[in-house]
Amino acid sequence: MKDPENDILTYRRAAAFPLPTLERIEAALDELLAATLKHDRERDGAAIAARAGGASEPLSAHGFTADALLETEFLPGEAFIADPIGRSLREGVRMLGKALFALTGSTDVMQEVCDRVCDRDPANWGRRADIMSKRWDGIGDWHA
């Protein structure tokens, strides 16, 4: 038997903390992706300038560059140490993908959202799609 008191509490809680809409998730993804691309350009520009000045890209204790560590970790969190801002932005994209799947239960809807968010910046459409695809790998039946 249903408890009417719990129903009222659930309703009040839902009214006080409404679920995000697809539009809000899309707007947040757009901001994160714009910041990610800006960060990557600045980071890569600094690395190119440093190499042009004769400096080589610093290696980790394992002999890998910071870029390689973005995708490979030997210690938990090592990629965050190499690029804390870039990695945090990408982790935000992953968390929004999880929220999107929890809200819709559909990777088809995730693909539609991905396409709409990419359409907001046609010049970087492929780069945006690549970031979302990689970060959403393993959510539901999404595969990069």
- In tens, the pLDDT along 89-113 reads 999 999 999 999 999 999 999 999 9
In a domain, 2, yes or no: no
Residue 8 belongs to a domain: no
Residue 96 lies in a domain: yes
| pLDDT higher than 60, residue 136 | yes
Owning domain of residue 88: 20-136
Query: What tokens were used for 120?
Result: 């907001």
Give residue 20's pLDDT. Answer: 86
> Judging by beta carbons within 10 Å of its beta carbon (0-12, 13-18, 19+), is residue 34 exposed, middle or buried?
middle
Residue 5, in any domain of the structure: no
Q: Any idea of the CA torsion for 64, 67, 70, 74, to the nearest 10 degrees?
A: 0
Residue 130 located in a structural domain: yes
Residue with tokens 């994160």: 32
What pTM was computed for the model? 0.73
The answer to whether residue 142 is domain-embedded is: no
Return the pLDDT at 57. Answer: 52
- Residue 14 in any domain: the answer is no
Ranges 32-41, 56-65, 77-86, 114-123: which has the least confidence: 56-65
Smallest CA-to-CA distance from 116 within 27, 45, 2 is with: 27
CA 98 – CA 120 distance, rounded (Å) = 21
Q: Tell me, yes or no, whether 9 lies in a domain.
A: no
Q: Kindly tell me if the per-residue pLDDT of 50 is higher than 60.
A: yes
The number of domains in the chain is: 1
